[in-house]
Structure 1
Amino acid sequence: MNGNELNVSRRRFVAGAAGAALAAGLAGCSPATNNSDNGESLPNSAPEKTAYDMNEGEWIPTTCNMCFNNCSIKAHVVDGVVVELAGNPDSSIGRGHICGKGAAGIMQLYDPNRITKPMKRTNPRKGFDEDPGWEEISWDEAYELVDSNVKAAIERSGPHAVTGMSMVASQIGSLVRHTALGVIYGNAEGSCSDICGTGVHQLEYLLTGTGNARPDYANCNYVLQFGTNAGTATRHGYNMTVETFAERRANGLRHVVVDPHMGGSGEKADLWVPIRPGTDAALALAIAYVLVHEEGTIDIDFLKNRTNSPSLVNVETGRILFDEATGKSLYMDADGTPKTYDTCADPQLEGEFEVNGTPCKTGFTLYKEHIAKYTPEYQEQITTVPADTVRQIAKELGASACIGQTTTIDGVELPYRPAAVDAFSGITRHKHTWLTCQAVFTLNNLIGSTNAVGGFCGFDPICNGWTDDNPNMSWSLGIWEPEGLIDNNQLLLAFPNSYYTKVYESDYTPTTMGMMEIQPLSEDNHFEHVAQAHPDLYHTQAAEVAFCYACNPIKWWGNYDEQAEIFKNYTYVIGIDMYLNESSYFYDVILPECHYLERTEPLPHAANNHRVIGGMDNPWTVPVWQKVVEPRDGAPSSWELFGELASRAGKNAEFISTLNMMFRVKEEYSVPLDQKLDVEAFADSILKSNIDEEHDFAWLKEHAVYDHPRTVDEVYIWAGEKPGRVPMYFDFVLEAKAKVEAKAAELNIPWETDDYQPLPDWKPGCGYEVTDPDYDIIPTYHTDAINTDSWLMEDPYINEINEENPYGYTIEINAATAASKGLANGDKVRLVTTDGVAVEGVLATSEGVHAECIAVIGGHWGSKSAYMPIAKDKGVPIVHLIPGQTPDRMDHICSAFDQTIRVKIEKVA
């Protein structure tokens, strides 16, 4: 199979993919021409002239999978061919919108470069310059190769011999993959993950009870965003957000964006604030300084009654005082008596006291003293953001919060705080991410907007069930009694979770390469990247077999050559994908997964709490994901593939029973445990268990979507004066620090604990200091509304958009910076690190990037795979510049990975 023979232009793709019906059906995706690249006649593809009757065929509802949002769509199918995709207006998940990525899904479906038959490697040598010598094999042989190699590794070296890898765009499939490996083979290593929202998710868990949160857009008047294009170009629930956000903007919502690059959010904002990468914590703390020290615009009632700010803290140890009899934290009451938090009538927010001979201060007093150095002038030296801008933002934020006001929703009176501080992955690509997220998100605590109407709220913190009389799919928020702090529910499946229990009660001994136990505040197995490279350093067992599902792990972390060496050292590598990407050059066998329009998947949004943004205007929505056309060459879905492996291993009962537990399937509706998993029947069992028998999968296939309205208490967690607080003084982090240090010493492993502190700070991360004046540029990357991960670049439509975008495949640089270096628009340049690693690209000058930075879309671009000819060599892969296997780039609390590096930019003759 020669990848160089697969190249196809967008126009030739349209001409040959599926005949005239398909070609004409791509109205709006093809240029207004009737000649192909070689002069062949093509059907006219102008929107007003189509080669099929719009009334022919049928519109079949299903779910998009061109990014992790999984919007509800409809596919127009004529004579077994998909001729058009559109948003489904009947579903709140997408609200009838379809973005450019979603529209391009039709071209991915009929892409001749997509693989549909299993293959095995015949060339034992592995490398980007090696032809794997792919040979088509039968499905029986493919399953046997997977089964025998996984079993052999585990029999040889134990349950940690196999690691799994998956991507966020197939999160349910990732769950099934992880479950299958554990149930079928007893694999215990877990899942090596790509870079994601480390730090952000954890702080959102702690403050809102769920791992994804957002401004309450429908009621918000002021949104301050750090490092995110949410609401305009990307992020969870994107198509659910844009319409509401746009309506609020038209009606006066003020939008401020802090980001080194002026992306979609910055372009549309009232104020774009370019910032030096990795310094967001300093800016956030300076905003806090103005609110607390200069303006006094803080919600005292909220801080006293909904946070642990009044906690009495031993000034010598920094630890909160707890009542010996009850084990509960102590506050100082207005009568001068220390009392437990739940018996204190009027907690004192500030003050210095003595309790049983112990000098103490309130947590808020310590916070106030701690941020005193973060004046707007001080932060300006760190961030480059002018002091006047900081004061402007702080004053606007405080004034917009309407502190003290209430509103009534469905007869329930609630605090009204229509201002929110939001952030996402832009602030997580740095060391000290935990402290940065703490600094940013606790700004909402200062103004009382955490969990308030118009403020910063979790996606789905509480669910009373998907019907009025069936609470099977339900969850609530527990309370960690020692401080009265809210616990949280997990992403995806929404089962109860507690960081506080993990910190105080768990064993810190690592059991996998992810080192999760010694990071009780982490969500991701990112340390596996370091431990796999340095198993002796951490006394871990390196995996021998990698099982890669729907991902490109060579390119999802750091330097690609480093990653390649890791993959060369695996004994066997298994891939499941639709394309032969860079990572496939290191696979030993690859099993194709069918396209998302060719498969059925149960419950695509799981419990709704990860990608459905929630709010009173978004009901609980269960959409259908059903096959709309037959899979090419009979390629299976991941559900079918893992079900087949379970059946061959005689593990049907174990596999299905585990899935039943995960998806809350009632025993009476379970599919047979002694038969291979039937995916559609399993989807049916989920719906009957969590809704009712009337709304089964046959009903959902016809009606596309099931809705159930949310109630006030599901959206605003303290409706009806429910108990619960959120942390402002993070005492539990000091508890974790002591235990982490003890365990690291016991195991004799290196571990950083300087960031384990109760109050937020800014600390310089990797690449902050300019150690050589020639290396003074910081590469950054961002995502826009048309791109998600490198595999979408193989799509001819998306590629053409990127090619026509002057900043699509180029290196964007500040115009003044370029001029100072003797560079100009269109110059070919090389970016070089102090270690001599280099990438090249073409410059595009603009005013939309910080003077010390360059910016590209998708830092993992620049495909090396000849089997993806449209994507090959497109874009600038700046992630390749970053060392990915050194512990010094890891945030040792939440597993964030610092991607900041200084480079020299030089013109290429």
Structure 2
Amino acid sequence: ADKLNAIRATGLLDASGYPRVAASFGGGGTPQFYMGTFPAFLAAWGAVDMGFGSGQGVKCDHSEHLYGEFWHRAFIVAADTPTTRYLISCGSNIEASGGVVGVWRHSNARIRGMKRVQVEPHLSVTGACSAQWVPIKPKTDPAFLYALMHVMLHEMPRERLDLPHLKRLTGSPYLVGPNGYYLRDRATKKPLVWDLRSGQAVVHDTPDIDERLEGRAVVDAVEIGADEEVLGDGMLEGETGFDKLVAHLAPYSPEWAEGICDVPAATMRKIAQEYVQHACVGQTIEIEGVTLPYRPVAVTLGKTVNNGWGGYECCWARTLLATLVGALEVPGGTLGTTVRLVRPMAERLQSAQRGPDGFMNYPMNPTDKATWSPRPNIRNAYKSMVPLTGNGAWAQALGPTHFSWMFLDKTPKGLPTVTFPDVWFVYRTNPAISFWDTDALGEKIARFPFVVAMTYTLDETNHFADILLPDATDLEGLQLIRIGGTKYVEQFWEQQGFALRQPVVEMRGDARDFTDIATELARRSGILEKYNAAINRGAGGVPLKSEHGDFSLPVDQVHDREAIWGAVCRAASAELTDGAEAHGLDWWKEKGLATKPFPRIDWYLYPTIVERGLRFEMPYQERLKRVGAELGRRLHEHDMHWWDKQMAEYQALPVYKDFPGLWQDAVVQAGGKGEDFPFWLLTARSMQYAWGGNAGVQMIHEVAGNVSGHRGVIINTSAAEKLGIADGDDIEISTPSKRVKGKAVVRQGIRPDTLLLIGQFNHWKTPLAKDFGVPSLNKLATMSMDLTDATGSSADIVRVAIRRRG
């Protein structure tokens, strides 16, 4: 508290304009369900830098988070598993990452007859449960997906696509001008389409028109580029976005893709044909009295496929595969399950408001000359560098969070010098193990002036802490949590409500509930009234004052956890019952949870799109092209050229690039020879270990021991034989500058050019885990600008060598 008071006395921002207090939390947004009212403390405090990453975001489903919300309000994308009949899964290890619900739902789907095609370099537990495994070369998924679309557009009759959907509910008929921007009506600036009924160009939202999907036209229009620059005015020739798409995908045949992704052309053709056969184009289904399109096909993407270089291409292709057959946001198809970047976060459908050009609004960070700034609000510079993150509550953690660490040593030209925060809060995260380049990251943590860790056990990050605040464990803490509705991955339900996480044992030793820790910090820091006011506004998960009643806490008093969560419980009861009931904490402790029906039709965004007269922003990405051009200009105006490689990703129709070559080039840049490091080292999700957060729990270790692969690096049998490596041998994995040791796990279900490490270990402090002797990719991976894409993410993949020790 003394440190915090000193900061408040001298100002919340340092000389560079960065917050002097920083905070880092664990992945997937899960810590918020355990950190009590600490969000209220942060809100009361003011400026906080939450951009020091620990791996979440940039090495998670990062591109999917950003592009998914942009295209169909899908921070998380999932198949409509209860209805889907054909699923193409590119590296999505749902049988591990989906938890018990994922296993249950996909098991039921297979019993019902769903076919799942698993496309990944190694045979994961999900692949083992699938009808087909396609062992693709790492980081070539865009080529595979582009080949599927090529077959659909160039080898199948047009009628097999959902042509009415493409015409009326997408940007496919919009006319694109000679410079790559939409041709617009001179008066309204709205995009033009060619109306077959009237035989003329009209604005896209003209009633009772029949849009032409294919064809060129010369029309009286204006073409407006970046920064409102008029690029053409008069009689201009345009072609439809769909025409541009067809021409764009013409070179990407299955034969072309086979030479890149190592999947037979015949296999890709068969998958494309099966996908369209199962799409049921033209069929409908009734959901709660509403007739909707029935399209029981979906494509899902996994980590490393949907982040880093190639993530844009994969997310665009996945969304477009759904769009071509009308399977986006309809029963059986590809769904978004939550929003985190577009408000309101608790109301996904309400976030779909009208924006420019007939598409949904999106809160892009500014790129215009008047409002863009080279002085970011936090150290990872997301607001200046990544328009798609927006500037909401989750934006900081979805910026290039490795930049906060990288720039501590050398800040790129044009940005204020990146500084160490005066105080760094750490909770339920261990970046010294979970992020890249862990040795260098640990050295930087050691240089932080003051570290406060809320923790239940020692680990490699809080080893450097100045203060350890023992946090109550999951079985000791108290908190009300929202459940049901639509949320992450397979979590979409026909009920919504709240559940109480309550103590089953007394707290031991000096442990304190996080809510009490937050309250005491607020009191000692002189911000108690602001803290209580934040709780009243809803920082505890539920606004305490609403149309259903007023359960507000007095702001000038100190409240213990029972009082705070008692008020939250009453407000939650009132919300669920429209004010009819206001049960207190004792009732919730007895009942445990309470729910009300959640309409199944609200799983799907499609009815909202139709009702509001909107279109899905597919296939042509004019808005992204425009934003990228503007951002590039702003950066160059400030002599900032270090982001030029990333600027090339802002394409209206993304072209395939040599994505594997980027990681091969990294070997050469590090001083090695490509042929000396012939293996792709990947990671896979362990269901037992929650991102490593429970690595020190003996019971979890015992359970994981029953699942093959946890004890070492998985290597293909034939590759191991050539190197003289046997199962259980001591091995060394190396890059040009780093090396780790471990045990070999020899298996058939992996490509000969691929190695696999499950989870992220290499602990040296965490009790029990430090004795595992299991290596980690993170120790070998580097934080690299060249391996960072335009959204600010990279991927868990490294080129390595392996040899037998001894």
TM-score range, shorter chain: 0.7 to 0.9
| Equivalent residue letter for 2:189 | G
Question: Does residue 1:341 correspond to 2:213, yes or no?
Answer: no
TM superposition shift of 1:682: 4.1
Q: How do 1:26-65 and structure 2 match up within 5 A?
A: none
* Matching residue of 1:242: 103
| 1:619 alignment partner, SS class | strand
Cα separation, partners in 2 of 1:558 and 1:191, compared to 1, 3 Å: closer
Residue 256 to residue 619, structure 1, CA distance change in 2 (3 Å): same
Find the counterpart in structure 1 of residue 680 from structure 2: 778
Over the aligned positions, Cα root-mean-square deviation in angstroms equals 2.8
Percent identity, please: 24
Cα distance in 2 for partners of 1:656, 1:878 equals: 43
Equivalent residue in structure 1 for 2:215, among 351, 356, 379: 351
Does 2:395 match 1:528? no
In structure 2, do the counterparts of structure 1 residues 664 and 341 end up closer, same or farther at CA, with 3 Å as the change threshold? Answer: farther
The one of 758, 773, 796 aligned to 2:652:
758
CA contact (8 A) 2:40 2:532 kept: no
- The corresponding residue for 2:189 is 327
2:182 is matched by which residue type in structure 1? I
- 2:488 is aligned to 611
- Given the alignment of the two structures, is residue 547 of structure 1 paired with residue 547 of structure 2, yes or no? no
Tell me the distance in 1 between the aligned counterparts of 2:348 and 2:557: 29
Q: Which amino acid aligns with 1:325?
A: A
Instruction: Work out whether residues 376 and 387 of structure 1, in 8 Å CA contact, stay in contact via their aligned partners in 2.
Output: yes
Provide the rounded CA distance (Å) in 1 between the counterparts of 2:346 and 2:69: 23
- CA deviation after TM superposition for structure 1 residue 151, in Å: 6.8
Q: Which residue of 2 aligns with 1:710?
A: 598
Matched to 1:620, the amino acid is Q
Q: Which residue matches 1:254? A: 115
Alignment deviations for residues 306-349 of structure 1 (CA, whole Å, 9 cap, x no partner): 2111111113x211223232232221111331212111611111
Residues 1:748 and 2:639 aligned together:
yes
Distance 1:310 1:833, change over 3 A: same
Partner SS for 1:755? coil
1:627 aligns with 2:503: yes
Map 1:216-231 → 2, pairs under 5 A: 216-230=80-94
* Mapping 1:627-666, distance limit 5 Å: 627-662=503-538, 663-666=542-545
Superposed counterparts of 1:288-687, under 5 Å: 288-296=149-157, 297-315=160-178, 317-334=179-196, 335-343=198-206, 345-356=209-220, 357-459=235-337, 476-487=350-361, 498-499=362-363, 507-509=372-374, 510-517=376-383, 518-522=385-389, 523=395, 524-525=398-399, 526=401, 527-537=403-413, 538-545=415-422, 546-605=424-483, 609-611=486-488, 613=490, 615=492, 618-662=494-538, 663-666=542-545, 668-678=550-560, 679-687=564-572
Report the CA distance between 1:379 and its aligned residue: 1.1
1:392-449 alpha-carbon deviations (Å, 9 max, x no partner): 1111111110011111122211100001111132313532422322222321111211
Check the 8 A contact 1:500/1:732 in 2, yes or no.
no
Question: How many aligned positions are there?
Answer: 739
> Are residues 502 and 873 of structure 1, via their aligned partners in 2, closer, same or farther at CA, if it must alter by over 3 Å?
same
Q: Once the two structures are superposed, what CA deviation does each residue of 1:524-570 show, in whole Å capped at 9, x if it has no partner?
A: 13232333343254334323332211110112221111102221222
Q: Once the 2 structures are TM-superposed, how far is the Cα of residue 717 of structure 1 from its aligned partner? A: 2.5
String of CA shifts for 1:764-823, please: whole Å, max 9, x gaps. 333246852121001001013212122322111121233444411211011122223332
Following superposition, the deviation at residue 148 of structure 1 comes to: 5.3
The change in CA–CA distance for 1:705 and 1:685 in structure 2 (over 3 A counts) is closer
Within 2, Cα distance between the matches of 1:804 and 1:461?
36
Q: In the TM superposition, what whole-angstrom CA distance separates every residue of 1:198-255 from its partner, at most 9, and x where no partner exists?
A: 111123213332412311111110111112112x2213xx333332321120121000
Conserved? CA contact 2:494–2:599, under 8 Å: no
Seen in structure 2, the aligned counterparts of structure 1 residues 501 and 532 have a Cα distance that, compared at 3 Å, is closer
Query: What is the SS of the residue equivalent to 1:393?
Result: helix
Contact 2:338 2:348 in 1 (8 A): no
2:228 matched residue in structure 1: none
CA contact (8 A) 1:823 1:907 kept: yes
Equivalent of 2:136 in 236, 252, 275: 275
Letter of the 2:775 partner, please give it.
V
Contact 1:206 1:726 in 2 (8 A): no
Question: Amino acid of the residue matched to residue 75 of structure 2?
Answer: G
Match of 1:809 among 711, 714, 729: 711
Partner of residue 856 from structure 1, selected from 757, 781, 785: 757
Report deviation, 1:715. 2.2
Q: Report Cα offsets for 1:3-60 as digits up to 9, x if no partner.
A: xxxxxxxxxxxxxxxxxxxxxxxxxxxxxxxxxxxxxxxxxxxxxxxxxxxxxxxxxx
Distance 1:178 1:700, change over 3 A: closer
Aligned pair in 2 of structure 1 residues 613, 900: CA closer, same or farther (>3 Å)? closer
What per-residue deviation string (whole Å, max 9, x for no partner) do you get for residues 77-132 of structure 1?
A: xxxxxxxxxxxxxxxxxxxxxxxxxxxxxxxxxxxxxxxxxxxxxxxxxxxxxxxx
Contact 2:288 2:601 in 1 (8 A): no
Residues 554 and 890 of structure 1, relative CA distance in 2, 3 Å threshold: same
Could you say if the C-alpha distance between residues 900 and 611 of structure 1 is closer, same or farther in structure 2, counting changes exceeding 3 Å? closer
**TM-score normalised to structure 2 length:** 0.86
**Alignment map for 1:757-906 (pairs within 5 Å):** 757-765=651-659, 766-768=662-664, 771-834=673-736, 836-858=737-759, 860-865=760-765, 867-884=766-783, 886-892=784-790, 894-906=791-803
Mapped partners of 2:600, 2:797: distance in 1: 42
Distance 1:159 1:500 in 2: 22
Mapped partners of 2:527, 2:364: distance in 1: 36
Take 2:25 and 2:9, find their aligned partners in 1: how far apart are those partners? 20
- Aligned equivalents of 1:218 and 1:282: distance in 2? 29
Q: 2:588 aligns with which of 700, 715, 724?
A: 700
Q: Which moved more, 1:206-215 or 1:441-450?
A: 206-215
Q: How far apart, in 2, do the equivalents of 1:569 and 1:171 lie?
A: 27
Cα gap change, 1:670 to 1:862, in 2 (>3 Å): same
Any unmatched runs of 5+ in structure 2?
Answer: 221-234, 390-394, 668-672
Distance 1:205 1:353 in 2: 33
State the Cα distance separating 1:710 from its structure 2 match: 2.2
| Residue 198 of structure 1 pairs with residue 85 of structure 2 | no
- Give the C-alpha shift of residue 364 in structure 1: 1.2
**Structure 2 SS opposite 1:582:** coil
Query: 1:809·1:856 contact (CA, 8 Å) conserved in 2?
Result: no
Question: Match of 1:205, SS?
Answer: helix
User: What is the identity, as a one-letter code, of the residue corresponding to 1:745?
Assistant: H
Q: 1:847 to 1:295 in 2, by over 3 A?
A: farther
What is the aligned partner in structure 1 of residue 232 from structure 2? none
Unaligned runs of 5+ in 1: 1-142, 463-470, 488-497
Q: Work out whether 1:727 is the aligned partner of 2:627.
A: no
The separation in 2 between residues aligned to 1:697 and 1:852, in whole angstroms, is: 59
1:483 is paired with a residue whose SS is helix
Question: SS of the counterpart of 2:82?
Answer: helix
1:631/1:879 CA distance change after superposition, 3 Å: same
Deviations 1:237-277 (A, max 9, x none): x3333323211201210001111221121010001111122
Q: 1:736 to 1:396 in 2, by over 3 A?
A: same
Shift of 1:500: 5.3
CA distance in 1, matches of 2:44, 2:51: 12
Find the aligned partners of 1:244 and 1:189 in 2 and give their Cα distance.
Answer: 35
Per-residue CA deviations over 1:357-397 (Å, capped at 9, x if unaligned) read 22211111111111111111111121111111111111111
Match of 2:230 in 1: none
Note if contact 1:406-1:416 (Cα within 8 Å) is conserved in structure 2. yes
What secondary structure does 2:350 align onto?
coil
Native 8 Å contact 1:166 1:549 kept in 2 = yes
Cα deviations across residues 478-525 of structure 1 (Å, max 9, x unaligned)?
3334222234xxxxxxxxxx2458567963543221212221113413
